[in-house]
Amino acid sequence: MKVQLAIQKRRSFRALDKIEVTDKIISDLVCAASLAPSCFNNQPWKFIFVRKNELLEKFKTVVSKGNEWVFESSCIIAVLSKKELDCVAKGIEYYLFDTGLGVGQLLLKATELGLVAHVIAGYSHEKTKKILSIPEDWHVIALIAVGKKSKKKKIIGDESRPERLAAKYIYSIDEYSKKLNKKVTH
């Protein structure tokens, strides 16, 4: 699949059907993430693939209200990152930036494999760390629900891609632009 097509096809769908998440799928996703750039090639990440049914059941207590659609995912990836493993330059801590780059590639790879990989921030960090015995010094910076887009189930919001900021608000050439989307209030 061409990168441009994967970028266009990737969506955070919520209506999911179960699939078998094979070792090959996992290694393909990990490979895509691991080839992402990171500051000094520090790779400040770990990905825990949760696919055992008993564990997925436990994650029903982890996701926040409104994210119950995650119950239909076939695998949940806990994305871990650690500040001490990466650069801090001029006060900018790069561990979250770098891990996000890895996740971006993982999402595109999932799209190429015909899967949905939907990032969520609505979950309990404490419960995730407890269930997966994650040491204190790692941050669980996101969960990714993996499945296949359902052909039958419908969830409002899935039908069209959420609107993006118009290009004029997000880029300029050769100089800083003050233009801000008026809708942004925070």
Ligand X SMILES: Cc1cc2nc3c(=O)[nH]c(=O)nc-3n(C[C@H](O)[C@H](O)[C@H](O)COP(=O)(O)O)c2cc1C
Task: CB nearer to ligand X: give 162 or 173.
Answer: 162
Interface mask toward ligand X for 8-47; x: CB under 6 A: ---xx-x---------------------------------
Degrees (nearest 5) of the Cα angle 46, 50, 52?
Answer: 150
DSSP one-letter code for 28: H
Under the binding rule (CB under 6 A), the answer on residue 120 touching ligand X is: yes
Q: Applying CB under 6 A, which part among 15-23, 72-80, 114-122, 176-184 lies near ligand X?
A: 114-122
Smallest distance, ligand X to C-beta of residue 169, A: 16
Q: Count the site residues for ligand X by CB under 6 A.
A: 11
Instruction: For residue 84, give the H/E element and its range.
Output: none
Task: CB nearer to ligand X: give 121 or 177.
Answer: 121
164-171 long-range contacts, CB within 8 A, separation 24+: none
Helices of type H across the chain: 3-9, 23-34, 53-58, 95-112, 125-131, 167-170
Under the binding rule (CB under 6 A), the answer on residue 6 touching ligand X is: no
